[in-house]
Amino acid sequence: MSFKSFVRENPIYKRYILPMRKKYNAYIESKLDDEAYFIRRHKKIFGYTPDFKNPQTFNEKIVHRILYDRNPLYTALADKLKARIYIAAKLANLDLESEAACMSKANQSKELKEKFQALADSPTFLDPKSSSPLFAPIDTLTQLLFDTNVCPFLPKLYGIYKSVEDINFDELPNSFVLKTNHDGGGVVIVPNKEAFLRDSKAFGEAMEKLTKHLNTNFYTLFREWHYKDIEPRVFAEELLGESVQILQTQDLDSQKIENGNFHTSLQKFKVPDDYKFHCFGDEIFSETIIDRGIDTRCTFFDKNWKSIPVNITYDFAQRDIPKPPLFNTMFTISASFYEDIGYLRCDFYVLDQQLYIGELTMTPGGGCLPIRPYKYDAILGNFWSGIDKVSESKFKKY
């Protein structure tokens, strides 16, 4: 063990010195403007001083977008509720050849489908100076948000709330997920409502977690400007996944919320594998994550479903991952969003031969993704075109 590791493992360091260092670093960072904050953070993570006005790597280009590209559409799409309107409108007009997609679309209300087609066809749909719902106050959109349930590629929306006190659990089905719309990590999975409500400790922890998220502006944590003006809400949505047996029996007294998952005494909820499509236009890569929460692994694939020796965050999968059903539909959908946004990551789930969109992400990881091998940070950066060197006069401080 190195001397540095020895010091960091010392109980005195962990209990007294480390918290003081964190407070000091937080104080220093609070005094920095956004550009200085990201330069300092990048140097600490990657070991060199970046030039965000002339970005080269994938992570640098993510931060470039955060600092210099103030497109109001990013705020609308970072809002997990308003993003539903965009997705429903875009896909209402998209010609999807997948048999499963066509079967699902056949069940749509014709009137509602035409409503979203009209939205997508409107020349002002993406104009922040117009009356587009993407830029309207969230409380004026309640009915339209529930109308997005017509889109077969979105989980069903059950309720929207300003606070956890507003949640009427009697109106919710037996299983659901509670999320916050304005940030990341504000998730509580409830596969069994009766057990969840019966366990006062688990319920209290969940409500405390959601309330903390509601009261936190995500921008103040990570300086991603497009989260700053999102109106925070909690919403209840269809739960995608299944309960599976776990090896260790838990007593009722030990039930708790862990990483947003509610555990019953003999079961744990397993989310479906997700396919995170990084879309660079014609080039699309799938960051495919399997066995999340159990033994989370990740493999990168190109558009021909050929594995690539690169991973982000998680270790490589130790087993073959079959090409998912509806893969071509995922590709088509991602490319359609790229037309409006440029680079984005679109997250998909496949459950019972039905395709669902989880979320759209314009700045994955906030520009500090642990890409391995490191050379792929530059390789992926080369696929992200359309970013020019930014002069000092074009830089807009926030």
- Burial string for 217-252 (b: 16+ CB within 10 Å, else e) reads ebbeebbbbbbeebebbbbbbbbbbebeeeeeeeee
Rounded CA separation 55/73 (Å): 22
Q: What is the DSSP letter of 199?
A: -
Q: pLDDT by residue (tens digit) across 11-36? A: 887 887 888 887 877 778 888 999 99
Q: What is the pTM of this model?
A: 0.87
Angle at the Cα of 228 from the Cα atoms of 225 and 229, rounded to 5 degrees: 125
Tabulate helix, strand, coil % of the chain (nearest 5).
45, 20, 40
Q: What is the DSSP letter of 343?
A: S
Do the beta carbons of residue 45 and residue 197 sit within 8 Å? no
Q: Give pLDDT tens digits along the chain (398 positions).
A: 677 777 778 888 788 788 888 787 777 888 899 999 999 999 999 999 999 999 999 999 999 999 999 999 999 999 999 999 999 999 998 877 544 444 454 456 788 989 999 999 999 999 999 999 999 999 999 999 999 999 999 999 999 999 999 999 999 999 999 999 999 999 999 999 999 999 999 999 999 999 999 999 999 999 999 999 999 999 999 999 875 544 443 333 333 333 444 433 334 667 889 999 999 998 999 999 998 877 889 999 999 999 999 988 888 888 889 999 899 999 999 999 999 999 999 999 999 889 999 999 999 999 999 999 999 999 999 999 877 554 444 444 33
In terms of phi and psi (left: phi > 0; alpha: psi -120 to 50; beta: otherwise), the region of 358 is alpha
